[in-house]
Amino acid sequence: MALSEIAEAGHRTDVLAGTKPRKQARNRRWAFLGVVPFFAYIAVFLLIPTGKLIVGAFTTTTGAFTFSNIASIFHAPYPAAFEFSVELSALSALWGGIMGFLVANAVLHHGVPRWVRPAYLSFSGMAANFAGIPLAFAFTATLGNLGVVTILLKHLGFNIYPSFSLQGLLGASLVYLFFQFPLMILLMIPVIEGLRKEWREAASNLGATSFGFWRHIGLPVVTPSLLGLMVLLFGNAFSAYATAYALGISNLVTIQIGQFINGNNVFAPQDAYALAFGMIVIIVITIIIYTLLQRRSSRWLK
């Protein structure tokens, strides 16, 4: 830190001595050239395609302005797809959020053996990134029709089929839980670590039990973060495609959009644009809620 202060002071003397300002001003004018390649790349591969689909959601094939594309996503089968997407994302976010919070809290308890923390953290890092095709088939091998656990339960006298299926709300949310739950553990750990140790000690000195601490201090402070991260998990599940595709779920928004694309062709592009736009709207709403909750929680947490 001292070094940077010296550097700052050096700057100031340079400015006072009048040797650098002109050069610096000239540098600043041309400095933006250094980021042109990056912004050009982002424009071509992210901004322009996004702009194109947003414009496409509001124009006819001939280029005239219209609301009829947007109106079409309120007709079957799309509302049902949006509904199932929201239900599945919300359920997996709720489960994942609560369990992730409880496990993060347990992992951080200083009484647990020393190996627990690195074991759970590194495994969580792996599982949170283990979404997609292999995850879907891992659960087929576990809870599918001929899955290892399905057959084990059958031997024990519990026949989960046909009432259970990996394509239903319960089954699919269990699969999603495999990446939501560890993600929540990783995201929740810094939040719980941010709870000041002094509060815990003060509460304990005043005779509070661990339960009392959480009820009156911990939970009220942590709740905005907890809700914010659950909203984030919702967005994470909402945009999942590969896992659902491999499970064979068809009534999800992402799968419906995928059906319009084959190679470099987009069939019925107007509907695809409108659905994609609908997804963007929902994700933007989740990010706004997340940001508001995050702002609220940063008041108390370190």
Region of 69-77, 83-91, 161-169, 259-267 interacting with another protein (CB under 8 A): 259-267
Distance CA 185, CA 45 (A): 32
Give the containing element (helix H, strand E) for 261. Answer: strand 261-262
56 binds another protein (CB under 8 A): yes
Contact yes or no for 120/107 (Cβ under 8 A):
yes
**Cα separation of 242 and 248, whole Å?**
10
Closer residue to another protein in complex, CB, 56/224:
56
Task: Decide: 218 and 226 in contact? Cβ < 8 Å.
Answer: no
Return the residues of window 112-141 that contact another protein according to CB under 8 A.
112, 116-118, 120-135, 137-141
Tokens of 39: 């912004």
Residue 288 interacting with another protein (CB under 8 A): no
Q: What is the smallest separation between the CB atom of 80 and another protein, expressed in angstroms?
A: 18
29 binds another protein (CB under 8 A): no
Q: Which of the ranges 15-23, 75-83, 159-167, 255-263 carries the binding residues for another protein, by CB under 8 A?
A: 255-263
Identified binder of another protein from the candidate list 94, 246, 289, 301, rule CB under 8 A: 246
Question: What backbone torsions phi and psi does residue 261 show, to the nearest 5 degrees?
Answer: -110, 135
Residue 266 pairs in a beta bridge with 261
d(CA 273, CA 254): 12
Q: Decide: is 295 part of the binding site for another protein (CB under 8 A).
A: no
Residue 105 near another protein by CB under 8 A: yes
Closest contact distance (angstroms) between CB of 71 and another protein is 18
Angular region, 248: left φ>0, alpha ψ -120 to 50, beta rest: left
CB of 84 or CB of 178, closer to another protein = 178
In three-state secondary structure terms, 144 is: coil
- Least separation in angstroms between CB 56 and another protein: 7
Binding mask 198-237 for another protein (x = CB under 8 A): x--x--xx----x---------------------x--xx-
